[in-house]
Structure 1
Amino acid sequence: MFYVSVFVQYMGQYMKTKLQYRADLFVEWLSDLMAQAVNLIFLLVVFSHTPLLHGWSRDEMLFIYGFFLVPYAVFAAFFNLWDFNERYIVQGEMDRVLTRPVHSLFQIILERMELESLLGAVPGLVIMVYVGSRLSLSFHWYDALMFILLVVGGVLIYAGIFISLATISFFADARTSIMPMMYNISSYGRYPVDIYHRVIRYILTWVLPFAFVGVYPASYFLRKEEWYGYAFFTPVVGALFFAIAVMLWNAGVRWYRGTGS
């Protein structure tokens, strides 16, 4: 309850700060929307030249993309660790974090959260509803719970991978980072894995399981029975990768020796 209370207070202060600059908030959301529109246009252009891509129709691909946007938006809102190395290790702010009686990872998540990124889930939901109606998809009452479970699993996968990458900074405080490259690799998860070479398919499933963020869970709602097993594994993979990331983080904090100044 203590952590819940701290989280609610942080959110309240964050919203007060953001609402003081409503124009900036609108511009940020508009820029995110334009980036999503570019990706959507890319898919439409591809399918203007071919009706099917390895057995997947345009509407099915759009549904996968729409689902992918939802866990990605939640991840982007709460796990902004892309500048962790520069801000907390190189500039020494980690020393400040470690003086407080709250878990260091929880503090950094709160300090770096960007709740406006949650709006990025809205286009994803709109795309899913629109395409779902075109595909005449049928849903049951428990599909809403399944949707939440799969989204949470996808968020935990994202968080686990990027937290693990951030922990590298505890052991090597160089300014270089592989975060940008990993963000680019993560985009492969919004396309069906069977369009890739089997090596890439294996990596996206078991090494960097971004396929569990988009195509596998979306396949559950598309009734792609050959991928059902993978879809149900999404929460398990998410919990596993997040648990590993937290253990690596705790090990990194124990190793951390400060900036020395």
Structure 2
Amino acid sequence: MKKKAALISLFFKTSLMTQLPYRVNFVTQAISTLFYFASGIFGLSIVFNYTDSLAGWSFFEIVTLLGVYQFVAGVLAFFVMGNVERLPDKIVDGHLDETILMPENSQFLSSFGSCNVWAINDILLGLFIIIGAVSLKITQLTEVPGQFSLQFVQFIILMACSLLISYSFRMWIATLAFWLGRTGGGFVLFSSIWTMGKYPVDMYPPFIKWLLYTLVPVGIVAAIPTYVLFNGLSALPFLGLIGITLLIYLFTNYLWKRGMRRYSSATS
């Protein structure tokens, strides 16, 4: 683990040196991120002029949900998204040779080979919203403080689960390239579905709600961690979510290993 952390740090420094000359990208992306988030808040404020809640969620809770979604999206974009989305072309073109020859896990190197430094904007904005929500929640505490501490711990753990699940599903799309060829179009479809996770899943029709909790579990990405932050979760479903996350991640590793057996080098 220490070695992997050192490698990620090295990848970050290399990416920073590569992207630092293009500082204008940081400014434009920061403005774009703020505008995108503000437009979402503005739309919500219009809706909440006519109602006190949306699918049982208050305005404050949905803003927190948007912040959680922004943070998760930022972390994924910062560390893995660009790498994973380039994988299908590398697999089909036989350009994984250098990765395979390195004395480190090929899945790890393929996932974390570079960083999108400017995604720090999304991470910071999401973190700002989360910290603000937690701070406000603490000032409004009416229950036992220890109960909220437990909810916060559950929230952090489920945030880690949401990152693992989001990463795993993207890796599934990339890894299918070993069997199906270029699967990059799958990322477009998945991203379209994934954006539905930034709103309360309860607001969707029953079938869509079931879909977002099962076959494409983007409901776990932000909605469940945010719900747990405000309401907590009993031990059984909480442990169940952790177990499901581990199974999904283990299947991701298995699928990658199976796919690597089918890999053909460009020089072979």
Instruction: State if a TM-score over 0.5 links the two structures.
Output: yes
**Using the alignment, how far apart are the partners of 2:45 and 2:86 within structure 1?**
33
More displaced, 115-124 or 208-217? 115-124
The question of 1:250 aligning with 2:253 is answered no
Match of 2:86 in 1: 83
CA contact under 8 A between 1:160 and 1:243: conserved in structure 2?
A: no
- Partner AA of 1:96 in structure 2: E
What residue ranges of structure 1 are gaps of 5+ in the alignment?
none
**Using the alignment, how far apart are the partners of 1:134 and 1:99 within structure 2?**
50
Q: 1:151 to 1:224 in 2, by over 3 A?
A: closer
> What per-residue deviation string (whole Å, max 9, x for no partner) do you get for residues 179-234 of structure 1?
11101111222222222222222221122111111111111122266x88655544
User: Normalized against structure 1, the TM-score is what?
Assistant: 0.85
- Partner AA of 2:258 in structure 1: A
User: Normalized against structure 2, the TM-score is what?
Assistant: 0.83
Q: Return the offset for 1:171.
A: 0.9
> What per-residue deviation string (whole Å, max 9, x for no partner) do you get for residues 84-103 of structure 1?
223x1344322332232222
The question of 1:126 aligning with 2:131 is answered no
Instruction: Indicate the RMSD between aligned Cα atoms, in angstroms.
Output: 2.8
**Using the alignment, how far apart are the partners of 1:137 and 1:75 within structure 2?**
32
> What per-residue deviation string (whole Å, max 9, x for no partner) do you get for residues 114-168 of structure 1?
1331331222233334455289653644555433322211100100111011111
CA contact under 8 A between 2:152 and 2:229: conserved in structure 1?
A: no
- Partner AA of 2:37 in structure 1: Q
Q: 1:197 to 1:63 in 2, by over 3 A?
A: same
- Partner AA of 1:51 in structure 2: D
**Using the alignment, how far apart are the partners of 2:264 and 2:28 within structure 1?**
40
2:112 corresponds, among 110, 113, 127, to 110
**Using the alignment, how far apart are the partners of 1:96 and 1:210 within structure 2?**
33
The question of 1:187 aligning with 2:195 is answered yes
CA contact under 8 A between 2:176 and 2:183: conserved in structure 1?
A: no
The question of 1:177 aligning with 2:193 is answered no
Q: 1:11 to 1:203 in 2, by over 3 A?
A: same
Match of 1:152 in 2: 160
**Using the alignment, how far apart are the partners of 2:66 and 2:203 within structure 1?**
15
- Residue identity (%): 22
**Using the alignment, how far apart are the partners of 2:76 and 2:183 within structure 1?**
24
1:223 corresponds, among 228, 231, 238, to 231
CA contact under 8 A between 1:18 and 1:25: conserved in structure 2?
A: no
CA contact under 8 A between 2:173 and 2:183: conserved in structure 1?
A: no
Between the two proteins, the alignment pairs up a number of residues equal to 259
Q: 1:173 to 1:49 in 2, by over 3 A?
A: same
More displaced, 48-57 or 127-136? 127-136
**Using the alignment, how far apart are the partners of 1:21 and 1:246 within structure 2?**
35
CA contact under 8 A between 1:71 and 1:152: conserved in structure 2?
A: no
SS for the counterpart of 1:40 is helix
**Using the alignment, how far apart are the partners of 1:135 and 1:98 within structure 2?**
49
Q: 1:39 to 1:82 in 2, by over 3 A?
A: farther
